[in-house]
Amino acid sequence: MGKSKYQSGKYTAWVMLAWALFAVALVASFIVLKSAGVMNAPMGGYGARGLTSDQFTIVMVCAGQCLAALLLAGGFTVLNGIYEAVVEQRQPPE
């Protein structure tokens, strides 16, 4: 008969793109932290001898960027898994 509108692997490329975006965000955050001098800051946390206010802001922005990309990639992966489960249930028996 006709071709089914449910196809296995339909959104796999979107999942891969989301994980690639996470990898790019992770590398970009590392580069920004390295160029801002955060990696060379003395240990001791935020305060007089540790990170300055600007460095602390940069750390939080980079962490937020990586977390957002991770949530996006995880969300796409979960939605793709749900879609694949529905596709398996809707396949007509052969």
**Does pTM top 0.95 for this prediction?**
no
Structural domain boundaries, residue 44: 12-87
Please state, in angstroms and rounded to a whole number, the distance separating the CA atoms of residues 36 and 24: 18
Please state, in angstroms and rounded to a whole number, the distance separating the CA atoms of residues 93 and 90: 9
Please state, in angstroms and rounded to a whole number, the distance separating the CA atoms of residues 50 and 54: 12
Specify if 6 maps to a domain. no
Specify if 5 maps to a domain. no
At 25-71, the pLDDT tens digits run 999 999 999 998 887 766 665 555 677 788 889 999 999 999 999 99
Specify if 73 maps to a domain. yes
Specify if 41 maps to a domain. yes
3 state DSSP class of 46 = strand
Specify if 51 maps to a domain. yes
Specify if 72 maps to a domain. yes
Confidence at residue 1, expressed as pLDDT on a 0 to 100 scale: 43
Specify if 30 maps to a domain. yes
Confidence at residue 66, expressed as pLDDT on a 0 to 100 scale: 96
* 46 phi/psi in degrees, rounded to 5: -85, 125
Q: Count how many domains the chain has.
A: 1
Eight-state DSSP code of residue 8: T
